[in-house]
């Protein structure tokens, strides 16, 4: 295995180890805080629910990617 490949795999493993718990925490946070409201919205206003679900997915992606990038930069700064 080349040095570049090893570095890439290490970075991927670190990112996965950081990102996975954040996604799980986000899921349970949204489920706990918005679960009942989202359920009622789904039952009574299906199109509004669909739009809000898409916005939550996009928001999750942006927020968690930004947080992961910040944490990786912070870790790289300490290791170098």
pLDDT in tens, 60-74: 889 888 988 887 787
Query: Among residues 27, 28, 16, which one has the least CA distance to residue 72?
Result: 16
pTM over 0.85: no
Q: Which domain holds residue 48?
A: 3-79
Rounded average pLDDT over 18-31: 87
pLDDT value at residue 33: 92
Say which residue the tokens 């805080």 belong to: 33
3-state secondary structure of 45: coil
Number of domains in the chain: 1
Given its phi and psi angles, is residue 2 left (phi above 0), alpha (psi -120 to 50 degrees) or beta?
A: beta
């Amino acid at each position: 295995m080349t040095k570049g490949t090893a570095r890439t795999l290490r970075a991927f493993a670190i990112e996965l180890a950081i990102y996975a718990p954040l996604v799980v925490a986000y899921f349970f946070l949204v489920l706990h805080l918005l679960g009942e409201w989202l359920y009622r919205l789904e039952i009574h206003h299906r199109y509004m629910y669909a739009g809000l679900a898409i916005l939550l997915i996009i928001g999750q992606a942006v927020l968690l990617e930004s947080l992961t990038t910040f944490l990786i930069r912070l870790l790289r700064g300490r290791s170098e």
